[in-house]
Amino acid sequence: MDRLCGSGELGSKFWDSNLSIYTDTPDLTPCFQNSLLAWIPCIYLWAALPCYLFYLRHNKHGYIVLTRLSRLKTALGVLLWCVSWVDLFYSFHGLLSGSAPAPVLFVTPLVVGITMLLATLLIQYERLRGVQSSGVLIIFWLLCVICAIIPFRSKILSAVAEGKILDPLRFTTFYIYFALVLCALILSCFKDKPPLFSTENIDPNPCPEASAGFLSRLSFWWFTKLAILGYRRPLEESDLWTLNEEDCSHKLVQRLLEEWQKQQAARPQAAAVEQKIPGEDEVLLKARPKSQKPSFLWALVRTFTSSLLMGVGFKLIQDLLSFINPQLLSILIRFISDPTAPSWWGFLLAGLMFVSSMMQTLIIHQYYHSIFVMALRLRTAIIGVIYRKALVITNSVKRESTVGEMVNLMSVDAQRFMDVSPFINLLWSAPLQVILAIYFLWQILGPSVLAGVAVIVLLIPLNGAVSMKMRSYQVRQMKFKDSRIKLMNEILNGIKVLKLYAWEPSFLEQIEGIRQSELHLLRKGAYLQAVSTFIWVCTPFLVTLITLGVYVCVDENNVLDAEKAFVSLSLFNILKIPLNMLPQLISGLTQASVSLKRIQDFLNQDELDPQCVERKTISPGYAITVYNGTFTWAQDLPPALHSLNIQIPKGSLVAVVGPVGCGKSSLVSALLGEMEKLEGTVSVKGSVAYVPQQAWIQNCTLQENVLFGQPMRPKRYQQALETCALLADLDVLPGGDQTEIGEKGINLSGGQRQRVSLARAVYSDANIFLLDDPLSAVDSHVAKHIFDQVIGPEGVLADKTRVLVTHGISFLPQTDFIIVLADGQVSEMGHYSELLQHNGSFANFLRNYAPDEDQKDNEALQDADEEVLLVEDTLSTHTDLTDNEPSMYEVRKQFMRQMSSMSAERESQNRPVPKRHMNPSEKEMQVMKAKETGTLITEEKAETGNVKMNVFWDYAKSVGPYTTLAICLLYAGQSAAAIGANVWLSSWSNDAVVDGRQNNTSQRLGVYAALGILQGLLVMLSAFTMVVGSVQAARLLHAALLHNKIRSPQSFFDTTPSGRILNRFSKDIYVIDEVLAPTILMLFNSFFISISTLVVIVASTPLFLVVVLPLAVLYGFVQRFYVATSRQLKRLESISRSPIFSHFSETVTGTSVIRAYGRIEDFKVLSDRKVDTNQKSSYPYIASNRWLGVHVEFVGNCVVLFAALFAVIGRNSLNPGIVGLSVSYALQVTLALNWMIRMMSDLESNIIAVERVKEYSKTETEAPWVIEGNRAPEGWPTRGAVEFRNYSVRYRPGLELVLKNLTLHVQGGEKVGIVGRTGAGKSSMTLCLFRILEAAEGEICIDGLNVAHIGLHDLRSRLTIIPQDPILFSGTLRMNLDPFGRYSEEDIWRALELSHLHAFVSSQPAGLDFQCSEGGDNLSVGQRQLVCLARALLRKSRVLVLDEATAAIDLETDDLIQGTIRTQFEDCTVLTIAHRLNTIMDYNRVLVLDKGVVAEFDSPTNLIAAGGIFYGMAKDAGLA
């Protein structure tokens, strides 16, 4: 190098220590300035070039138009190039004129000139690739400016010293150069316009990150605008930015699916996959079989390689940077110890510490940002893949795994991947940090370090053992949690039945039992967690203690001075971080591996074979053919249908009939390809529409339910509504066809749901219609209307192929032919008349049930009445929200208004009412109104603003006030012990050294050890106290929630989606169980570390107090902005999360409908859209954490800067031990400050769980179950006389009356049929009897006892009901019949015998312990109804209520039931709400209700003779 500088004015050495270091005015030699210093920026740019060009090649954002800014930048680059050339030519000029310039004067201008040219070209290339702000060039210009500052100072100093300028031209060119690079740096900080054709030009609210400048990205400044907005007012969904293209679901899911399909192709299924999503314990505890299944993990890695590699790069740089500060601390302590050292060293060191800390801050946050965004993408992709799989799994898989378990895969398991992502890089980073720390420690303390390392190594297996144990607890706890939530889900779905039967205590007990076991495990796990916390807090201290102890004891000449003590302490602090993360990493990885296995098994499950139904070819003239078909629901079950041979010609109407459970619905499923085909062929030609037996209704508007994704065609839509008798409903629904329909169609009556489902089919205009008993849920005359208008030979579907499963006999003569099924086989097939002549079982069956021909009245008359009837029926009716489920105030008002106007009109004119058609403007008005009134399910509201203090107080009270106080005191004590230990260390390191050794080493060591151990014990105590408190809080909060919910009135469940209640029991209780306590502990931890740091620094350098205030103000500002914004983002995120899972569970229940209509793709898009909405709030939340990190760590880095700076200023009065203590504490503070805000915010967002649970623990409850002073007498009711006295009732306060001044008296043992148009208040009457609805005025007396005076359970347990929807719970059949275990085995078998289930149950291997699946899905609807009958027979009380119980049963079974009721309940009072009049024709009296009042009440014969409403109904049914 010296030769390069040659002689002349640069004829100096390259490096001169006396000039540069050992002096009070340091400077660099001219040779160094002109060579290496000038080359540094050039070396950087050339080194970065290849990677940067590679990046630009692969990322094109469109080009940017040439702007003024771009022209200016280019002009500066060209000028700089010219300046370098001037220098170069000047050197040549010197050479020619005989003075020999040094070689470096040729080399440097050449190198700089070429680099400037490169920079100029780069500016233009970036513009063409759409780069708005270039990080590479900003760093380059910055380096240029920094490297030019030193010559800038030197040149002025030398000119002043010499009194003249030695080389005027080079002097001038240098200052021009300096001015130009400074301008270039300033200009490069401004960003260019967005590229042409970029999304930003169209997007109303693009993410500012995409267009942010380099510096803004580095410091996350682009987020500030949202932070300020969030501080000013609570954020709303409209404030959130649109997602970046690469974060959208459809992109991510597609990428992952492609990789997964490659995996599946590469490793075809090795073994038949287990049929069930395995429980967590099975996964963890069984040995892995060696068969190679497709690896989902590998697919994930392949999908996200680039993000992973980027994270690795950032993490590596940060790990290396973290070791710079301890080295600087070591030099700083040496500087303080040496009074002769020039003071500019100290200031330089303080500056370097600050710069190194800032670099670390910026890089670590870039790392975290990239890794968290990757985690978010990971979750999105996994959710999408699971959703797509759920659309195609077979029914057997669906049976094995409940909806709840599948939702768990999506919510819990996908979330676990997201949680473990940030720790993934620790796998290589932790060992790297440990090795580096040990290396540097060895430099200071020599082999003594091995003692400390030995402690670390020994503690790892101990921790391993603890975490293994914790894991096994967690697995068992997960099982309890799953079963608790599954049971809770069933309770919520069947809450009405539980209330009617008074079964709540039995289920309450079950839940509490599970919860008890769950908390027991939770407590054990938490104690272990406390032990492991103790180990982790003690580890760094133990290691320091043992290392230093061994160091001073091994050799008396080993002196512990400040440098050794505090540098090793700060290295041990670095060592502590990866070790602290290890347990989190291990538990995260184990959980993720369990989740991985569960997801992988689910994705490997059998899919429905799309080829099992042949769609293309079919024998001509036929629409459906089945040859020799044998079908089963699952491979391990016997076939449900066997050897079927069916041919259905195009355009024919085929009826499928047969007894309950003979396989009618299975046949329809087989035609849809929903069953597994064992042999034979099925061909179906043309598009299919399917109406399932239980209507599947989506949670959206009625219109969307009917259109079902098809474009709106007004004429066809109108026709669908008209023929399915829905028009009159629309007039009554609060928002017409824009009314929002609740989950599972909650605010429609059964008949309406079925008609909407049918309208969907009619609108779809398919070629083939598979109708699974669509007429069972509607009244007889509506059924007739629908058959005539839609299904029958005259209906709108007359030219389509229709397969109708039915129990209604009256329609059979009009069908083309009939298929009779028995035990899964076709027993007879043919036209109605053929089958009658055939004299088979079908013919006998018909003769018994078909009404006589001659009874039929004049058809013409009936048709004339039809129109009136319909309007009246559907009006009062099925629209009758009021009947089954209440709806809202407006519905009721509008409904009543319309009712009265209709009846008034009819009375005055006595002629058919024409159907009302609206003109377009009226329609629009209605739609507008609908939007306001038509929503039933209230939006879940996001709490806004600060979490109220009383929520924290509620939690503290649940934990216990004394416990809370104890925790605080223990933490304060622990901090005091830690400070004491370090102060002691500091004074030890200042001990005088006599003859090369320190005295009283053992005393120093002993006290240090005692203080450390005290600290550890206090930590453990505080953790134990927290466990006791948090488990108690978890118990109390859950118990309060559960008891309130079980006692909530039915109206609460009608207006609140079950998902929302379930969310309280799953997500919120999980947070209270497992998240709150650790968060509070972490908060205390970081709070006390921050306080102790301040105490130590202020104590050692009191001058520090000056900056405490401004730093605290800055910190407070950041904290206020961050907490307000992040809390609201978190709330928005949790609100947008529920719809993903509700939509998923809705989809899973309706897959057969979705597949039948071929709408799988649309539903994927819907799901993706919901996930994207959720991501829109997650993404800014991630950014908010980074924004906080950068700003808070800036405060922390200032603390480091000032601690070092004041130590340098006061170096004369301080000893090295104090400086070491103060600065090593300052180096820890950044992390603590950051954690403190994060934990405060986490606590705020998690404490919301307490708020939400409290909110639902305080809702209004129904009357007490038992009133001690007022029990019903033993054996009551003895007669069963029921009396309504002037009784009125409304659904909810503010709604109109449903029953008005009802007064009637039913004698004991009397049989009364209750009839009336739907909505007349029939079901309401029964609900009042059981006090599901409470009286508005008047009273009901049973045997003279006013039912309002006794407890609900005393009342409900003495009455019996067979409800409309037969609901079963998962568990044994015995539990479903007798949950309290009150009846003997004989009683139960006798009840089964009488309810005609004996044969079925005894044929099951498990008998009474036959397991019913969730909702009783493994029994047919008819069988479920019979189980309800068996329940009634067991209870056998004096009053029996039958609520439309006969709707879903074929006539034979119906007859059996009616017979059973007549014989078994002979001496009981029976109230029957009848659909089929023939069931009540022999009752003592019939009560006809109309609009909530008694219209007629007399014996059936008298009523028919009177010719009133009942006569009209009987005439319709062909009974009069």
pLDDT digits (tens, 9 = 90+) for 1319-1332: 678 888 888 989 98
The secondary structure of residue 787, as a DSSP letter, is: I
Quickly tell me which residue has 């290691």 as its tokens: 543
Using DSSP's 3-state secondary structure scheme, residue 1369 falls into coil
Distance between CA atoms of residues 76 and 71, nearest Å? 9
Of the ranges 120-129, 469-478, 1156-1165, which one carries the lowest mean pLDDT score? Answer: 469-478
Q: Looking at residues 582-605, what average pLDDT do you find?
A: 86
CA atoms within 13 A on the CB side of 1405: 0
Q: Which of the pair, 850 or 329, is modelled with greater confidence?
A: 329
pLDDT attached to residue 880: 33
pLDDT attached to residue 857: 36
**Which residues lie across from 1305 on neighbouring strands?**
1283
Q: Looking at residues 1182-1208, what average pLDDT do you find?
A: 90
For 31, 77, 117, 140, the CA distances from 181, given in Å and listed in that order, are: 21, 9, 13, 10
139 pLDDT above the threshold of 90: yes
Mean per-residue pLDDT of the chain: 83
85 pLDDT above the threshold of 70: yes
Distance between CA atoms of residues 1040 and 1038, nearest Å? 5
Q: Looking at residues 22-46, what average pLDDT do you find?
A: 88
Query: Binning pLDDT at 50, 70 and 90, where does residue 984 land?
Result: confident
pLDDT for 759-801, tens place per residue? 999 999 899 999 998 887 777 778 888 888 899 888 898 889 9
Q: Which of the pair, 148 or 1426, is modelled with greater confidence?
A: 148
pLDDT attached to residue 912: 33
Q: Shortest CA distance to 4 belongs to which of 100, 107, 89?
A: 107
Element (H, E) at 79: helix 68-96
117 pLDDT above the threshold of 60: yes
The token pair that represents 1497 in the structure block: 């009440």
Query: Binning pLDDT at 50, 70 and 90, where does residue 272 land?
Result: very low
Distance between CA atoms of residues 1378 and 503, nearest Å? 9
Strands ordered across the beta sheet of 676-684: 641-649, 622-632, 676-684
Of the ranges 151-155, 200-204, 599-603, 1380-1384, which one carries the lowest mean pLDDT score? Answer: 200-204
CB 86 within 8 A of CB 93: no
CB 1480 within 8 A of CB 1313: yes
Contacts of 263 (CB under 8 A, 6+ apart): 294, 295, 296, 298, 299
859 pLDDT above the threshold of 60: no
Q: Which of the pair, 1455 or 313, is modelled with greater confidence?
A: 313
The token pair that represents 734 in the structure block: 């609060």
pLDDT attached to residue 163: 83
pLDDT for 1490-1519, tens place per residue? 888 888 899 988 888 888 888 888 887 777
157 pLDDT above the threshold of 90: no
Q: Looking at residues 583-588, what average pLDDT do you find?
A: 78
pLDDT for 1411-1446, tens place per residue? 888 878 888 877 888 888 899 888 888 899 887 654
**Which residues lie across from 818 on neighbouring strands?**
655, 830
Q: Looking at residues 333-347, what average pLDDT do you find?
A: 88
278 pLDDT above the threshold of 80: no
Strands ordered across the beta sheet of 768-772: 688-691, 768-772, 801-805, 653-657, 817-822, 825-830
931 pLDDT above the threshold of 60: no
Of all residues in the chain, the percent with pLDDT exceeding 70 is 90
Of the ranges 128-142, 348-362, 879-893, 1448-1462, which one carries the lowest mean pLDDT score? Answer: 879-893
Query: Binning pLDDT at 50, 70 and 90, where does residue 688 land?
Result: very high
Helix axes of 305-321 and 426-445: crossing angle, nearest 10 degrees: 10
Q: Looking at residues 584-593, what average pLDDT do you find?
A: 83
Q: Which amino acid is at 1480?
A: I
pLDDT attached to residue 419: 87
Distance between CA atoms of residues 549 and 534, nearest Å? 21
Of all residues in the chain, the percent with pLDDT exceeding 90 is 24
pLDDT for 814-854, tens place per residue? 899 899 988 888 888 888 888 888 877 788 777 766 544 33
pLDDT for 383-420, tens place per residue? 999 999 999 888 888 877 778 888 888 888 888 888 88
Distance between CA atoms of residues 629 and 633, nearest Å? 13
Q: Looking at residues 176-182, what average pLDDT do you find?
A: 94
Query: Binning pLDDT at 50, 70 and 90, where does residue 12 land?
Result: low
Element (H, E) at 691: strand 688-691
Q: Shortest CA distance to 1442 belongs to which of 1509, 1333, 1361?
A: 1361
Of the ranges 287-291, 768-772, 905-909, which one carries the lowest mean pLDDT score? Answer: 905-909
Q: Looking at residues 166-176, what average pLDDT do you find?
A: 89
pLDDT for 1087-1145, tens place per residue? 888 888 888 888 888 888 888 888 889 888 888 888 888 888 888 888 888 889 889 98
For 444, 647, 851, the CA distances from 837, given in Å and listed in that order, are: 108, 22, 18
What is the chain's length?
1520
289 pLDDT above the threshold of 50: no
For 25, 346, 1103, 1267, 1435, the CA distances from 349, given in Å and listed in that order, are: 16, 5, 19, 80, 88
Distance between CA atoms of residues 360 and 1190, nearest Å? 10
Distance between CA atoms of residues 531 and 533, nearest Å? 5
Distance between CA atoms of residues 775 and 759, nearest Å? 13
The token pair that represents 336 in the structure block: 């303080």
Query: Binning pLDDT at 50, 70 and 90, where does residue 1451 land?
Result: low
pLDDT for 252-261, tens place per residue? 999 999 999 9
pLDDT attached to residue 908: 33
873 pLDDT above the threshold of 60: no
CB 253 within 8 A of CB 384: yes
Distance between CA atoms of residues 1481 and 1315, nearest Å? 11
pLDDT attached to residue 1128: 87
**Mapped to the 3 state alphabet, what secondary structure does 932-957 carry?**
HHCCCCCCCCCCCCCCCHHHHHHHHH
